[in-house]
Amino acid sequence: MSMPAILEGRLSLPVIASPMFIVSGPELVIAQCKEGIVGSFPALNARPISQLDEWLYQIKQELADYAAANLDKKVAPFAVNQIVHVSNSRLEEDVALCVKHEVPIIITSLRAPNEIVDAIHSYGGIILHDVTTIRHAQKALEAGVDGLILVCAGAGGHAGRLSPFALVSEVRQFFDGPIALSGAIANGRSILSAQAMGADLAYMGSAFIATKEANAVEEYKNMIVESTGEDIMYTNTFTGVHGNYLRPSVVKAGLDPENLPGADKSRMNFGSGGTGKSKAWKDIWGSGQGIGSVNDVPSVKEYVDRLKEQYAQAKAEINNKAM
């Protein structure tokens, strides 16, 4: 296993908080990084493009000031998610801003990021690419990415179908670099489990929706708290790509979860001002299967403190069993 050099000694837990459409903004990212886990947000959350420049400046400045005033704390670097897709008309401009601000970590999605690898590497940034299949993993590595995010069954958003046991094992047969694992991870024991399976980092999203700093409406946060894995449905209706969604939000939108219309890939619009994915995610709320572990709406600090305690306890239990 291989932890990215940019993260060495800078994490309080081996966790990357995933970028979530609408939900992830500067307040959430800064809070996550201050607690020693990588915070991230989609570039497309910043609208118009000029706001991305403002957000990047804000995040860098606040984290730098905090680190200088708290030398005993581990302050994690942050990440920006770039959608590498033909419908993302902002990609070139957004990447240019990331280069300008020397964003430490870029998370790429959908297509192998051939056209941006050199730009990110030019200042020492790294690229982690999320994949759901072996073929996608191989294409991303051929493009020159530095690590992989394996989005397995049970993850929120555009999740894959494979069990993490299967995907991690197969990827490790040809890649010994950094791997982050996603799929229903919402407590400290699951973070340790991800490492035990061969991943370096846990990739967590849905549980952070139900935190005070998340840019989600209260009804969304409460629905996360009140729901369990049984309330998650897997469909490609809303964006043309299979993903996991909260069934109660589908019902609330006036749809019958058992009789959804067929998938329409034309809905898959990630560009500025597009109505496809934006509308789908505004009206239909995404979530992974791990939300049965979420029982309240704490601050990021309170939640990460719980994760640390759970992680340490799980480690201790394993050590005791091994004796």
Residue 15 pairs in a beta bridge with: 202
List pLDDT tens digits, range 151-183. Answer: 999 999 889 999 999 999 999 999 999 999 999
List pLDDT tens digits, range 88-111. Answer: 999 999 999 999 999 999 999 988
Task: Output the pLDDT for position 278.
Answer: 38
Banded model confidence at residue 242, pLDDT cuts 50, 70, 90:
confident
Q: Amino acid identity, residue 253? A: A
User: What residue segments make up the domains of the chain, in order of their start?
Assistant: 10-216+289-322
Q: What percent of the chain is predicted at pLDDT more than 90?
A: 81
Task: Output the pLDDT for position 141.
Answer: 97
Phi and psi at residue 202, to the nearest 5°: -95, 145
- The span from the first CA to the last CA of the chain, in angstroms, equals 25
Task: Output the pLDDT for position 273.
Answer: 39
Least confident of 181-195, 229-243, 275-289: 275-289
List pLDDT tens digits, range 108-141. Answer: 998 899 999 999 999 999 999 999 999 999 999 9
Average pLDDT score, the chain: 92
Closest CA to 145 of 129, 131, 130: 129
Helices of type H across the chain: 26-34, 49-69, 91-100, 117-121, 134-143, 164-171, 188-196, 206-209, 218-226, 247-252, 276-283, 300-322
Banded model confidence at residue 241, pLDDT cuts 50, 70, 90:
confident
Phi and psi at residue 106, to the nearest 5°: -110, 130
Mention the CATH class of domain 10-216+289-322.
alpha beta
Least confident of 137-141, 196-200, 273-277: 273-277
Instruction: Give the residue carrying structure tokens 């299949």.
Output: 133
Residue 261 has pLDDT above 80, yes or no: no
Q: Amino acid identity, residue 304? A: V
Count CB neighbours of 196 within 10 A. 11
Task: Output the pLDDT for position 210.
Answer: 98
| Residue 45 to residue 25: CA distance in whole angstroms | 7
Tell whether pTM > 0.85: yes
Helices of type H across 122-257: 134-143, 164-171, 188-196, 206-209, 218-226, 247-252
